Amino acid sequence: MRYNALAAGSAVARFRCVLMLSCLGLSAGALSTAAFAQTLPETAQDTAGENKAADIVVTGSRIRRAAADSPSPLSIVDADQIKATGTQNIADVVNQLPALAVTQTNQTSNLAGNAGVNALDLRGLGTQRTLVLVDGRRQVAAIPGTSAVDLSNIPSSLVQRVEVITGGASALYGADAVAGVANFILKKDFEGVEANTRYSASTRGDMDTYGFDLLAGANFADHRGNVTLYGFFENTPGTVSGADRPWTADGYPIYARTSSSSPYYIQDHVRNINTADAAQVVLGGRLYAVSGNGTLRDPILGPGGFVNAVPVNLGTSTEPLGTLLTDGGEYNGRYDGWFLSVPSQRINTRASASFEVSDALKLFANATFAHNTSKAGYLQMTAFGTDVVPADSPYITDEMRAANGGAVPAGGVQFARRFMELAAPRTEYDRTLFQAVTGAEGDFTLFSKPWNYSTYYSYGKTTERVRDVNSTAYDRWYLGLDSTTGPDGKAICRSTLDDPGNGCVAINPLVKLTPEMIDYITYTSHWSKSTLTQQVLSGYVSGGLFDLPGGTVQVVLGGEYRKERNDIGAIPEYNPDSPLYDPTIGTTAGTLVGKYSVKEVYGEVHVPLLAKTPFFETLSLDGALRLSDYSTAGSTTTWKIGGEWAPIRDIRFRATYGQAVRAPNIGELYTADSISGLWITDPCNTYNLANRATRTQYTAANCAAISPADTASYWLYRDIISSGNLDLKPETAKTLTVGAVMQPRFVPGLSLTVDYYNIDLRNAIDAFGAQTLIDKCVDQPTLDNIFCPLIKRDANGNLEAVMTQKLNLAQYLTRGIDFGLNYSVPLARLGLPDHEGKLSIDANYTRLLNRRYTLDPSDPNSITEYAGIFGSPKWKGVVRTTYSRDGMGFTWSLRHVSPMKASTTITKEKYSKIWTPNVFYNDFSAFFALTDNIELSGGLNNAFDRKPPRIPGAEAGGANFELSEQSGVYDVIGRTFFLSLRFHR
């Protein structure tokens, strides 16, 4: 990548804005998309030590220095590369960097919660450990209770470039920077008008997205002042569900085997019996479907009939409906109804102003307002085969009794079906964000050395409203399902016999539900409202102290005060303190107010020891220290040391080592108690004891000690009790990066980088899913462990409820090697005419060595290695090749993820096919200047319509889609295109 050296005559004025490269001039198209180094053109490098006006501030340091001197690897995405992707959502571009793990995006947020939020996850350590800055300043989070910044509030056309640093950033920027920092640098001092209109869609005729933005700015007072206004609108109104793509609609692949001694093989196009519109029942050892009029008929199976690898004997099986599979027929897809990408509408406005009073005082202010709406979509209610119509219900017909030999079982008739007559359930989100920043910066002289300062105050507020639409009240469902015959011979809820005025509606689930039944079991809630307010007062001074043989020793001294408050609301129907509370829904949630403040002081020092001597072209040391005092977590210390050594100008070695600390955020500390329902399974049931892949040698004995009375039921709908944990302590990470930058003089324009990173996070604040807690309880050497107290069982040993909360327990270890190549060559150098333009190649790869997660450090069996598992490819990279000349350009991007498998338990000894293939995505884009002021661009993403691999879980994007934690690993949308028209004057 290349930086333009600024003209000496204007350099002093230009560099008064010193915060995070904010006023660095860029050469269009010359900055690498993700070059893991900072390199200057050769002429600038030759004079960098002499022309201090060319020094800048790069992310990862607050000290002005030559860009090539940073001891930390830096990834950069510039405006030209953003434009080449054709997306208005900057997260889609930045997430292509190999250092980023797939996390909260439009493609993954449907089931992960908070649909429509786009966040970053560096090194796979979580969004709460990635700090997002805008122009070097903290942003208010998009989700109350968290620190996750919604990148969709930062429109791509407003971004000049993005700088990403991983490791060693916490001492400089504070909490949440354990994994690193992403700094979004916006266009400044803009003069003129720029308008962009965009349209994109999939080539299957859906996912239409259209957007428009306008940027206008003017300088005044002899260019000492500037006012800039920006407005943006984008709308993706349509939905794309699992039924809209063949790889999710046409059944799904599973691992199956014919016996416990045979290997697993992949069985594809599988459909579950419980997905049919018509109720499925087993009577007399035979499967029936129930017609619309309540009569029995033969089910319409796929061409393979029942496709269970081990045939199920319907006459003896205790749970046939939960395991029966077919390959077509009247059965629906597993992912029908789930949104593969969430619909959204976004509005963003921003106003900024600056005025240079003198060299020592430049005032600035900006304000941003954003309004986003989105929604998540789910499947209609499904009965998986364990729900029962009571034996004395009038909905049990004489035909059913006859089919079962004259009488139905005393426990009733189990049934399975998907209730497609119900309106599709949705969760709707409405978010507004306001943030205002004002501050001052300037240059002055101290100790006969140039110094600078920057200070700002920021106020931000996020408001989030949420409501559930067409949801099912499961408590009402089970009350209505428990039907019997009333005194008048008609169906009645059993509960109504004791409480005649309870309003219960008896439900016949075997046929299409009546409007009265639907009205009884479904509801649309009122809106909840949660707010987050953040105030930040921050400032620092930086400058030189004295000279050493390598240059001037420079220091930074700064301080920061931050205060956050969350008012977490609850949907009124779930809140016992609300007059709208409805206990028959079966969900309980409370409100709370959580707040904290933190006072911090920090310092940084850069010591250039030697320069331009034999074997020491440069030799320097760096250090940083931050002391923090949290009102909730107490005092913490964060530090880092680093250095660089260039024996000759062609190669430079760099390293940083430090300690990062993250205090618990408001959501982790203060989460309001809530009770909701979830389908879970008891690891002690008969099927799981024999088949669960993650069971241990202790499971059987522990389950025998518990001895649950119900070992036949598989899916259980039980209460999940969630709460905060005020006993949480800060988590601590040790971070190390070691690397080299090579710029051989004999190949002008070539830069090669390699960097090793190691992040070891201890006492990690983490949440454990209800099913994980249940399984881990019985998988430990004894039942006396930290998990079992969170599991509630009744007097008969049956699961009753699970309590979930964050714990300081887990450990993360992630290690890898980043590789970067950047080469740019004018075609004239290859013997072609000067006007033929230039060719540039950016290649950036990460080799993941370890992504190790330890659930319980006291248990050696709880260590899981995720390198090579869905979401954690061992190799991930992107190669961009660009040809450009005056008025036109073409870019080919090749994205690659290496083979992965679905889980750690899948091994070649037991499975015949475990790995996905290498997957490549090809993106093409081009732009052409129609006139001096109008530019047309367009392109294809996933141009060859690469489909997800047919490995279990990969077909839905790379994970079990119901979990949706890594479902964005593979593209589930398919080929898309975009067109854009840009006007500038």
Query: In whole angstroms, what is the distance from residue 532 CA to residue 547 CA?
Result: 47
Q: Mean pLDDT over all residues of the chain?
A: 87
pLDDT at 21 over 80: no
Nearest C-alpha neighbor of 968 from the set 20, 105, 191: 105
pLDDT at 408 over 50: yes
674-681 vs 715-722, strand pairing mode: antiparallel
C-alpha pair distances (Å), 801 with each of 2, 381, 772, 793, 840? 59, 21, 13, 7, 59
Averaged pLDDT for residues 906-924: 93
pLDDT at 40 over 60: no
Nearby residues of 874 by Cβ (< 8 Å), 6 or more positions away: 847, 848, 867, 868, 898, 899
Of the listed ranges 82-91, 200-209, 299-308, the least confidently predicted one is: 82-91
Amino acid at 303: P
Q: Are 911 and 255 in contact (CB under 8 A)?
A: yes
pLDDT for the residue 677 = 78
Question: Angle 630-166-36 (CA atoms, 0-180°, nearest 5)?
Answer: 155
The SS3 call for residue 780 is coil
Nearest C-alpha neighbor of 282 from the set 403, 393, 420, 411: 403
Query: In whole angstroms, what is the distance from residue 181 CA to residue 132 CA?
Result: 6
Q: Quickly list DSSP for 598-658.
A: EEEEEEEEEEEEEEEETTEEEEEEEEEEEEEEETTTEEEEEEEEEEEEEEETTEEEEEEEE
Q: Sorting pLDDT into bands at 50, 70 and 90, what band is 959?
A: low
Q: Sorting pLDDT into bands at 50, 70 and 90, what band is 107?
A: low
Q: Sorting pLDDT into bands at 50, 70 and 90, what band is 964?
A: very low
Amino acid at 142: A
Nearest C-alpha neighbor of 791 from the set 682, 667, 676, 670: 682
Tokens of 368: 């941003």
- The residue that leads in pLDDT, 342 or 683, is 683
Nearest C-alpha neighbor of 20 from the set 52, 48, 60: 60
Query: In whole angstroms, what is the distance from residue 816 CA to residue 7 CA?
Result: 40
Q: Sorting pLDDT into bands at 50, 70 and 90, what band is 139?
A: very high
Say what the pTM is. 0.86
- Three-state helix/strand/coil letters over 135-152: CCEECCCCCCCCCCCCHH
Averaged pLDDT for residues 628-640: 92
The SS3 call for residue 739 is strand
Place of tokens 């033969």: 298
pLDDT at 48 over 50: no
The SS3 call for residue 699 is helix
**545-604, pLDDT tens digit by residue?**
999 999 999 999 999 999 999 998 999 999 999 999 999 998 888 888 889 999 999 999
Q: Sorting pLDDT into bands at 50, 70 and 90, what band is 967?
A: low
- CB-based burial label for 859 (10 Å; 0-12, 13-18, 19+): middle
Query: In whole angstroms, what is the distance from residue 7 CA to residue 53 CA?
Result: 9
pLDDT for the residue 3 = 32
pLDDT for the residue 946 = 96
Tokens of 862: 């709880």
pLDDT for the residue 845 = 94
Query: In whole angstroms, what is the distance from residue 857 CA to residue 863 CA?
Result: 8
Nearest C-alpha neighbor of 272 from the set 291, 258, 251: 251
- The residue that leads in pLDDT, 10 or 100, is 100
Nearest C-alpha neighbor of 90 from the set 102, 99, 101, 81: 81
pLDDT for the residue 55 = 65
**441-482, pLDDT tens digit by residue?**
999 999 899 999 999 999 999 999 999 999 999 999 999 999
pLDDT for the residue 95 = 80
Q: Are 344 and 236 in contact (CB under 8 A)?
A: yes
The helix (run of H) or strand (run of E) holding residue 771 is helix 770-779
pLDDT at 327 over 60: yes
Query: In whole angstroms, what is the distance from residue 47 CA to residue 69 CA?
Result: 13
Query: What residues are paired with 719 via a beta bridge?
Result: 677, 801
Percent of the chain with pLDDT over 70: 90
**826-865, pLDDT tens digit by residue?**
888 877 776 678 999 999 999 999 999 888 787 777 788 9
